[in-house]
Amino acid sequence: MGQGIRLGRLFGIAIHLDWSLLIVFGLIVVSLGAGSFPYLHPAWAATTTWSTALVAAVLFFASVLAHELSHALVGRGYGIRVPRITLFVFGGLAQMENEPGHWRGELWMALAGPAASLLLGAAFLLLASLVIGPGGFDPDQPRESLAALSPLATLLMWLGPINIILGLFNLVPGFPLDGGRVLRAIMWGLTGDLRRATRWASRGGQAFAWLLIATGVAMILGAEVPLFGRGPISGLWLAFIGWFLNNAALSSYQQLLVRESLHGVAVSRLMRTDLVSVAPDLAVAALVEDHLLRGGQRAFPVVAAGGRLRGLVTMSDVRERERSAWEGLTVAGVMTPADQLATVAPGDDAFDAMMKLTRAGVDQLPVVEGGRLRGLIRRRDLLTWLSVYGDPSLARELGEG
């Protein structure tokens, strides 16, 4: 997942919007603006209907952000670093740099999100009751009472239940949902074995995911499902959520195995130091003829006098330029500058290097100390370590991915 649009920082945490958020944002606005609100309030003007729908979508994702911030702030109290929160198509994701060191930290951090959503839901409903006032809603005439609500009351009446549903859904005991993390924390506390607890919680998450997929397929085929209804659109959406959760449950368990295998292993043990580096003023044509075509190295650190890293040039950088321009271009003109590179230090944890590689979407990272190049660590070097000291099948799967 890319970082998307950066909104700013809250409590020292970077807040990002993923581009996929536009999908569900648009669905919410259209669903409310063209469906629910006109049905409930046929007398509303179009501008009132659509502006209320737009505000509802914005406040819903503000609620999701509050959910994720509660995870991050409670986790911070237990030493869990959360540098970034990303809002995306399925809600939000708090990016943790490290796992909880104890089951209690996992438990309270996991419960914080659903608790925040449930409290928000109750608060919105309380505010709605205050706005409507005593006697403003007649349970014997719900249709007429809803039609008489103001835009503000309607907005609050929608936000209340949707936050409660969000909180309850996240309490389903399937990893990596919050309920699955609660389940993992409890099993971790009972067994003292984080790997076993994660495996069980992950399997619970996969079982729940397959249940969603099966339910979605049944809806597509015409079955009427309580709470979800029927139809190909709703069924396809539910099956897609199940597919996403299944992949997330599996990758969460894989990440724990990778962490166990690489944690405590210094980057200096795995980095390559037998590198060919190139000067910034080297012609691209000479880079191709003398280096890319004469060895297995595909990424070349660009180093100035004194060993200071200036950037990194790869075969992909060269391919982006017309062959006729190679003679007149220098490496400095096609390289990725050092200040745009993700880097690691020799003493950094190898697992952190793997996470940086994944987030940056690259196959190698320069190893830099004091601004000077010390080596290069590649994804294949980390996978080789996993294959020898960890799980060979996991290393093969990650390599294929």
DSSP readout, 299-354?
EEEEE-GGGBEEEEEEHHHHHTS-GGGGGG-BHHHHSEEGGGS--B-TTSBHHHHH
d(CA 214, CA 219): 9
For residue 207, give the nearest of 240, 177, 242 by alpha carbon.
242
The torsion angle over the Cα atoms of residues 206, 184, 109 and 205, rounded to 10 degrees, is 10
pLDDT digits (tens, 9 = 90+) for 50-93: 999 999 999 998 998 899 899 889 988 888 888 888 877 656 67
User: What local confidence, expressed as pLDDT, does residue 196 receive?
Assistant: 86
* Percent of residues in the chain assigned helix, strand, coil, to nearest 5: 60, 15, 25
- DSSP H or E segment with residue 188: helix 178-191
119-150 in b/e form (b: 16+ CB < 10 A) is: ebbeebbebbbebbeeeebeeeeeeeeeebbe
pLDDT digits (tens, 9 = 90+) for 17-30: 877 777 888 888 98
User: What local confidence, expressed as pLDDT, does residue 338 receive?
Assistant: 87
- Whether residue 401 has pLDDT greater than 60: no
Helix/strand/coil for 280: coil
| Domains, the chain | 5-262 (no CATH), 267-400 (3.10.580.10)
User: What local confidence, expressed as pLDDT, does residue 393 receive?
Assistant: 67
Task: Find the mean pLDDT for residues 235-256.
Answer: 82
pTM: 0.70
pLDDT digits (tens, 9 = 90+) for 145-181: 777 788 999 999 999 999 999 899 888 887 778 898 8
Task: Find the mean pLDDT for residues 369-373.
Answer: 86
